[in-house]
Amino acid sequence: MTPSLSRRFGRSAVTLALFSTVAFLIAPIVLTIVASFATSWTGVLPSGFVTFENWRAVLGLADTIGSQRSMGWDPLFSLPLGGETLSVLVPAELAFSIGLALGGVLINLVVGVPIAYAVSRYEFPGKEWVNAVSVLPLVPGVILGVAFLRAYPDLSATSFGLIVGYSLLKAPFMVMAVQSEFESMPLRQLEESARSLGASWPRTFLTVIVPNARSGIVSGAIICWALAAAEFNFSYIVWAKGTQPLALFLQRHISNSTFTKAAAAVSMFFFIIVAVTLLLQRVGRRGFDTRGS
């Protein structure tokens, strides 16, 4: 192809390939969301629009029984109102799973960020081993779940046990995201400049190093949260009773409900992922702004 033809058709070909790839990836998500508002899907496309019964059933606003039981509603907080108490209710599985995943992310932040900084900034014996262990997933969720049941039988059946398990499984993603950000920064120069101005090492780390790495930290937090919220294998092995993690709730609906109800459950999870991702991005930008308002 001559240079003139390449300039003429090259950009169009790349644009077409990019558009086709994005459309191919997004089409199943869009179709699933559309199906969640249909009454049935027996042919090529869903039919019977528009109904909210699938969403009402998934959210626990309609009567369901047996394996199709939808999420319950628990009081988030109560407000006194004219001699009566007004309780604000939230879907139990939804709030439970968001809290579990965010707890795992918090542990990943407290542990993963210092590890990524140490590996990127300093030379010490065994650095290669620390780096290899921290960025490689230790074990699959099934194996870690069985190990938890045998090693920590009292801890594994608790919410804290699920949080610790999620953090262990997703820690490598946090370390890799933050380490790549640290390695692109002049860490030594930043640290020496802050110390020369009288800042202590903790203040240097928290107010100079960490804010400059916020892109990697926020990216790692989003990845860890999304993967932890969808972690099925570890949750299935460890969870014993009480409120179900969202991954088990989704599995129950996908296995035992009609496709349109399953589409509503999956669509709900997709919207949760989008909402929490935007929230973490916003909190990350505001939380790492050390200049003040």
In this model, does residue 80 exceed pLDDT 60? Answer: yes
Flag whether 257 is in a domain.
no
Flag whether 169 is in a domain.
yes
Instruction: Tell me how many domains the chain contains.
Output: 1
**What are the tens digits of pLDDT across the range 144-175?**
888 888 888 877 778 888 898 888 888 888 99
Flag whether 225 is in a domain.
yes
Flag whether 42 is in a domain.
no
Q: Which CATH number does the domain housing residue 235 bear?
A: 1.10.3720.10
In this model, does residue 224 exceed pLDDT 70? Answer: yes
Residue with tokens 């938890």, as numbered in its chain: 148
Flag whether 206 is in a domain.
yes
What's the confidence (pLDDT) of residue 85? 67
Burial 121-155 (b: 16+ CB within 10 A, else e): eeeeeeeeeebeebbeeeeebeebbeebbeeeeee
Element (H, E) at 85: strand 84-91
Flag whether 187 is in a domain.
yes
Token output for 273: 């992922």
